[in-house]
């Protein structure tokens, strides 16, 4: 479940979206620590064990789709997944996000005393105490990557984090998985699975219809989008695939001593604003009480009274070797 766009008074991205996907860069930066907490550690650990078995002695060759501002790459280094030579192709349909990713990763590398150089415009070299990573940034849609024949069978790992609800899975998934080597891995995480909860219960009674319409708007954009998690749970057990690990990665945010972390505040405000914007008369009249609902929920963030949950699922699947 992805909130897009920002509330009027909230911070907006410094770089315009070239392709107009509308994901606020501040939302993506704030989401990082919420995702850190949510990501399923059992699935992550399975990935850490499986990747060296897949790569053998070769440098890991990784592609990420919908990479946004580069938070997953930072995490993969910080959490020790990348601890040797690797090539990391970070892609997104939004060139603006990839430009911000350069800034985000430069600041991140700086903080850790790592070096990040850009010998060419879209090609960087990241050296940390453990890892040496050739970085390539490419503004390209996942659909286009799935169609590529020249890179078929070459990636040890494809990553898609909080993006597959935006992609036509039956059309794109087979091509994406065909990019993997024999025993290549797909790590697909924070896949929204149909449940959103705000607490305390909304006294006006309109919230049920607002959330129903919000989920319906995802379906209107792409059939099945609001049930991406469970769809993947069955798709990733299809022919030629072995589901190695699966688990929940719910976003759960609640106040502590009537406050939140700075990231949680930004995330919650932008999420509420995203719901309001999505339903504000784009297709027919907005649901009754929408503006009052948003005002109440924003106020509850300010006063440390709001609790939020969204159900997500994580997966690690392996491409079985093709028969000789």
Ligand X SMILES: C[S@@+](CC[C@H](N)C(=O)[O-])C[C@H]1O[C@@H](n2cnc3c(N)ncnc32)[C@H](O)[C@@H]1O
Nearer to ligand X, 17 or 206 (CB): 17
Nearer to ligand X, 184 or 274 (CB): 274
Place of tokens 């990636």: 155
Other beta carbons within 10 Å of 247: 17
User: What is the binding site for ligand X (CB under 6 A)?
Assistant: 2, 21, 23, 28, 31, 65-68, 71-72, 92-94, 97, 141-143, 161-163, 166-167
Do 197 and 214 contact (CB within 8 A), yes or no?
Answer: no
Nearer to ligand X, 172 or 202 (CB): 172
Nearer to ligand X, 141 or 230 (CB): 141
Sign of CA dihedral 90, 94, 98, 104: negative
Shortest distance in whole angstroms from residue 257 CB to ligand X? 28
Shortest distance in whole angstroms from residue 306 CB to ligand X? 21
Shortest distance in whole angstroms from residue 4 CB to ligand X? 8
Nearer to ligand X, 94 or 193 (CB): 94
Shortest distance in whole angstroms from residue 319 CB to ligand X? 20
Place of tokens 């963030």: 301
Shortest distance in whole angstroms from residue 71 CB to ligand X? 5
Nearest to 273 by CA among 33, 26, 20: 26
Shortest distance in whole angstroms from residue 172 CB to ligand X? 8
DSSP string for residues in 112-145: HT-EEEEEETTEEEEE-SS-EEEEEEEE--HHHH
Nearer to ligand X, 23 or 260 (CB): 23
Other beta carbons within 10 Å of 189: 25
125 token code pair: 């070299």
Shortest distance in whole angstroms from residue 239 CB to ligand X? 25
Place of tokens 């009537």: 258
Other beta carbons within 10 Å of 262: 10
Max CA pair span of the chain: 63
Angstrom distance (rounded) from CA 299 to CA 302: 5
Nearer to ligand X, 164 or 287 (CB): 164
- What b/e readout covers 219-233, taking b as 16+ CB neighbours within 10 angstroms? eeeeeebbbbbebbb
């Amino acid at each position: 479940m992805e909130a897009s766009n920002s509330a009027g008074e909230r911070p907006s991205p410094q770089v315009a979206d070239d392709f107009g996907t509308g994901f606020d860069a501040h939302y993506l930066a704030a989401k990082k620590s919420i995702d850190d907490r949510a990501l399923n550690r059992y699935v992550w650990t399975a990935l850490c064990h499986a990747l060296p078995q897949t790569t053998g002695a070769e440098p890991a060759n990784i592609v990420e789709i919908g990479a946004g501002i580069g938070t997953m790459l930072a995490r993969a280094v910080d959490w020790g997944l990348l601890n040797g030579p690797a090539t990391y192709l970070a892609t997104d349909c939004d060139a603006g996000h990839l430009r911000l990713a350069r800034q985000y990763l430069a600041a991140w590398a700086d903080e850790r005393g790592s070096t990040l150089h850009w010998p060419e415009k879209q090609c960087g070299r990241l050296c940390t105490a453990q890892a040496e990573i050739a970085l390539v940034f490419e503004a390209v849609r996942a659909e286009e990557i799935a169609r590529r024949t020249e890179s078929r069978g070459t990636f040890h790992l494809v990553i898609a984090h909080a993006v597959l609800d935006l992609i036509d899975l039956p059309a794109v998934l087979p091509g994406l998985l065909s990019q993997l080597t024999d025993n290549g891995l797909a790590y697909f995480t924070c896949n929204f699975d149909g449940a959103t909860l705000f607490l305390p219960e909304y006294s006006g009674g309109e919230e049920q219809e607002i959330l129903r319409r919000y989920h319906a708007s995802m379906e209107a954009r792409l059939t099945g989008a609001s049930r991406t998690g469970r769809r993947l749970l069955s798709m990733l057990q299809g022919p030629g695939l072995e589901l190695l690990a699966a688990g929940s990665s719910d976003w759960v945010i609640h106040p502590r001593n009537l406050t939140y972390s700075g990231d949680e505040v930004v995330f919650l405000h932008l999420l509420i604003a995203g719901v309001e914007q999505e339903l504000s008369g784009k297709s027919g009249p907005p649901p009754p009480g929408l503006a009052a609902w948003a005002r109440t929920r924003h106020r509850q963030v300010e006063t440390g009274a709001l609790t939020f949950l969204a159900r997500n699922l994580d997966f690690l699947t392996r491409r079985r070797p093709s028969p000789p």
